[in-house]
Chain A
Amino acid sequence: MADYRKMWSDLEMDLEKHDLLCEALPEAFGAIYMSQENRPEGMDFFNFVVAEIHGVRPAELVEHQKKGGKVFGTFCVYVPDEIIFAAGGIATGLCGGSQFWVPGGEKVLPANTCPLIKASVGARLDDTCPFFKIADMYIGETTCDGKKKAWEILSQEVPIHVMDTPQMKREKDILAWEEEIRLLFKKVEDLTGNKVTPEILAENIKLINEKRKALARLYSTRKNSPLPISGKDVLLVTQIAFYDDPARNAAMVHKLCDELDARIAKGEGVFPADAPRILVTGTPMAIPNWKLHHIIETSGAAVVVEELCTGTRYFENLVEENGKTLDEQIKALAGRYMQTNCACFTPNAERIDDILRLVKDYQVDGVIDCNLQFCGLYSTEAYLVQQALKEAGVPYLHLETDYSEQDMEQMRTRVQAFIELIGK
């Protein structure tokens, strides 16, 4: 098998501890993913990415650095990748989705911090993730209090630039976000030593838009019945989009979509046509967090769409491509990113509008709103989501969980009862 130990060792990783993760991942992936029947062949590329998760892509990033390039680690869908790629950098998602990293984060964070933050901090402090070790700079944001404080801890390890995400969407807030994009622009230019011209930025706006269009095409295939692909597989594709090369990723997603279109034409699906159709909303599901999807899809229902950061929030809305000057382009970027509806904003009625729209477009039978423990923003907003769905007559279930296996059977019981209630 491939031996990346030299690279991991050069990155000063804890090889012994990291090996425990290498041992756990194939086991979990085998049970959750490889056990599915009739998966599209196009998923093989994404299986490959997981199989080589700490090998092939990290090696590409290291190669980029050897040629003088810089790597920027990001944690949120509000960070404009376009700027980073335009400056000749590479942006790579760093959100931690594994229970394996949680104890490392708990060494320095309060116990009542969400597992995503604990895992992200733990991955760095325990030296068990090459992506966290490779990044020359992390780009943080102010989308929650836990993250804001975590940046201060992580900044003792690696340079961090924090973008001040507005908490409201008034005109002055959008202007403030434009200013934040300008500051990132300058920071990235300074670190890479590359000047960004309007022509280069235009190319990279197009590059990231193409990735968004590919994901939008993939999600659209799920409006069909029977479903040509499982929710678990689409979740994996979305998670991988955060750190794969954007052009390659778009090409592989389109290839998968060609196969799915053929399945749709033949009426071929991966679930019975009458399987209840579930929309999942709530907090992000960073790789390798596949817990809720696995429970839903082994309980007789199918996930047809995710109103998540690892879902529609990531790819909906394109950046206007007609800007000729940097000012126009930055304005267009700010406008697009401020259309993303995260619970860190007040008010955030547009997120509820999004959920209601997706319920209709994807013929959803029930909504499962799941937030990670200690995420005050999404758990509080759940009240309003529930209220709106009740009014619209859409069955709703709220769950709160973490990355551990301890509550899986309790969750399964609740999900099964919900599916029974939908009674399709």
Chain B
Amino acid sequence: MTTAVYDYYVLFPNHQEGLRLYRKLKENSIKCSISPTPREASSFCGMSLLVSAENVGAVKKVLAGDNSIQTEGIVKIKRRTALWNKTC
């Protein structure tokens, strides 16, 4: 049986805020990826930042140090396997 892996999604009120944090994390060499927001995380479409468990603490630190970036929280979601057959 494989162990479940969890990802963290940082949510934003709009993509401008998302891109601000993205640039800030890159400046600080903190790994993150721009991702569509999964429905489990929010009922609104749009971008979020996908962060692995090992980096979520660093992201929280950056946010604590710069309260001008608006977020709508960080959501923890179980990662899907790449073999999951899904089209849309």
Contact = CB atoms under 8 A, between A and B. Distances in A.
Interface string A35-53: 1100101011101101110
Interface in A1-42: 1-4, 21-32, 34-36, 39, 41
Interface string B63-82: 00000000010000001111
Interface of A: 1-4, 21-32, 34-36, 39, 41, 43-45, 47-48, 50-52, 54-56, 98-100, 288-291, 298, 403-405, 408-409
Given A1-B11, A289-B87, A25 B81 contact: no
A298 B38 CA distance: 22
A27 B47 contact: no
A39 B88 contact: no
A48 B15 contact: yes
Contacts of A22: 39, 45
B87 A99 contact: yes
Interface string B25-44: 01000000111111100101
Given A54-B45, A99-B88, A1 B81 contact: no
Given A1-B14, A1-B72, 11 more contacts: A1-B13, A1-B48, A2-B46, A26-B35, A26-B37, A30-B38, A31-B84, A31-B86, A55-B15, A56-B15, A409-B85
14 contacts: A1-B44, A1-B46, A2-B46, A22-B39, A24-B88, A28-B88, A29-B36, A39-B33, A48-B47, A51-B15, A54-B45, A55-B45, A405-B86, A409-B85
Interface of B: 11-15, 19, 22, 26, 33-39, 42, 44-48, 50, 72, 79-88
Contacts of B22: 44
A4 B34 CA distance: 19
Interface centre among A27, A36, A405 (most CB of B within 10 A): A27
A233 to B, nearest CB: 12
A31 B82 contact: yes
Contacts of A2: 12-15, 44-47
Contact of B88 (A1, A44, A48, A288): A288
A23 B37 CA distance: 9
Main secondary structure, interface of A, reads helix
B35 A55 contact: no
B35 A30 contact: yes
Ranked nearest first, the 8 interchain pairs of A and B with the lowest CB-CB distance are A1-B44, A2-B46, A26-B36, A51-B47, A35-B82, A28-B88, A24-B88, A51-B36
B45 A26 contact: yes
Nearest to A24: B88
Given A22-B45, A23-B39, A48-B34, A36 B82 contact: yes
B69 to A, nearest CB: 15
Contacts of B14: 1-2
A21 B81 CA distance: 21
Contacts of B15: 2, 48, 51-52, 55-56
Contact of A28 (B11, B42, B81, B87): B87
A318 B47 CA distance: 35
A404 B36 contact: no
A298 B44 contact: no
